[in-house]
Amino acid sequence: MDHFLYRDGALHAEGVAIAALAGDVGTPFYCYSTATLERHFTVFSDGLKPLDPLVCYAVKANSNLAVLATLARLGAGADVVSEGEYRRALAAGIPGQKIIFSGVGKTRAELAFALENDVRQINVESEPELDALNQVAVSMGQRAPVSFRVNPDVDAKTHEKISTGKAENKFGIAYDDAPRIYARAATMPGIEVVGIDMHIGSQLTDLAPFREAYTRMRALVERLEADGIPVPRLDIGGGLGVPYERTNEMPPLPTDYGKVVQEVFAGWEDREFECEPGRLIAANAGILVAEVIYVKRSGDRRFLILDAAMNDLIRPALYDAYHDIVPVIEPAPGTPTYEYDVVGPICESGDTFAKARALPELKAGDLVAFRSAGAYGAVMSSEYNTRPLAPEVIVRGDDFALARPRPTYDDMLGKDRIPDWIDPA
């Protein structure tokens, strides 16, 4: 459920008309719903309530400070994968003791920053990283809290570019190597082993891979503890899918996911649990709004040319991802539809959002909204073709605020530098 609904024939974000926002900030723009963010966080937390996990929102899904601050006030922690994301989490009011630092390529400078800022744990993903972290921690007179991300070699049955738990993926240490690496870490002066982490992918629509991965996690923890290595903290990752296409096929509910977790880890309720949802919280809490520039006919094809492009929302070009596209003005019941190829103005054939998409007849100046654009939308955008980044707006009830303004062309050009040895034209 989200809070982007038609009222009196016009799409609203909670109590704010989308057309009014377009008039204020221009198009394209992203719009986030506070009520949806809060609801999704609460529903997910409630689904795991018997285990009382620390819900560490995956900042990579949507790192806008207003979004992070909204979740921080609900008690969320953060899962970050760079120093920049760590700084964003801190700036939004999430303390270091609620921040998990993940990622395969953390630099020594980033590791030092995390230790300086009271990181909850660092999810180590390789032996070279373990050695580097040990050296950094010793040089700072600290012991780094470490949880190893273990790759369980489980097929998440999701898109290959967002699958992270198979042996062929770059993430984590091999399952069979884990006992040796844990034993080695326990002897290091700069390392304090605090837990284990597994994350097998994103946009999972089947609970079976979760059950398989968590069963392997439990077996590994039992083996480690039999070897005298306590593992009091379990980071079970994230990845639960969301409904992008409005069909009868729905991903599992958080309550059903919670039942799987509770069944696998029955009897371990006294341990610390952590989880890292991102898409589940943010995706359906955001939309991208665009204006039709032209409607082009070419043979028997209709092209809907928008002012939004792949630099604003790259997921369709990158993953062939589906986003529901709806007109901002609600069509009357029985309105006929036509098949449109929905495209942007960038000089790439890949700048295509949808092909042969059924939509009511649209004309230049009409507004459309891409649903489920709150995750991996604005965070993956760029200034390709020297196009300004789309602004981000957050709505709360009848109020709205600009959470990130659209940069001016002067802002964009001002970031470049022409060297002195190039004579001005």
Residues that are catalytic: 347
Residue with tokens 């034209």: 425
* Helix residue ranges, H only, 295-422: 315-319, 409-413
Tell me if residue 361 falls in helix, strand or coil. Answer: coil
DSSP state of 96: G
Structure tokens at 70: 């909204």
CB under 8 Å to 169, separation ≥6 — which residues?
Answer: 151, 163
110 CB-side CA count, 13 A: 20
334-343: long-range contacts, CB 8 A cutoff, minimum separation 24: 335/360, 335/361, 336/360, 336/361, 338/302, 339/302, 340/302, 340/303, 340/304, 341/301, 341/302, 341/303, 341/304, 342/304, 342/306, 342/368, 343/303, 343/304, 343/305, 343/306
- Asked whether the beta carbons of 165 and 217 are under 8 A apart, the reply is no
In order of 151, 210, 378, the CA distances from 165 in angstroms are 5, 10, 26
Q: What is the dihedral of CA 246, 251, 256, 257, to 10 degrees?
A: -140
Is the preceding peptide bond at 145 cis, omega within 30 degrees of 0? no
Residue with tokens 């995390």: 114
Spacing of C-alpha 42 from chain mean position? 17
Please return the burial class of 358, using the count of CB atoms within 10 Å of its CB with bins 0-12, 13-18 and 19+.
exposed
In order of 236, 322, 329, 341, 352, the CA distances from 361 in angstroms are 46, 20, 12, 13, 19
DSSP string, 223-238: HHHHTT----EEE---
What's the CA gap between 256 and 154, in Å, rounded? Answer: 20
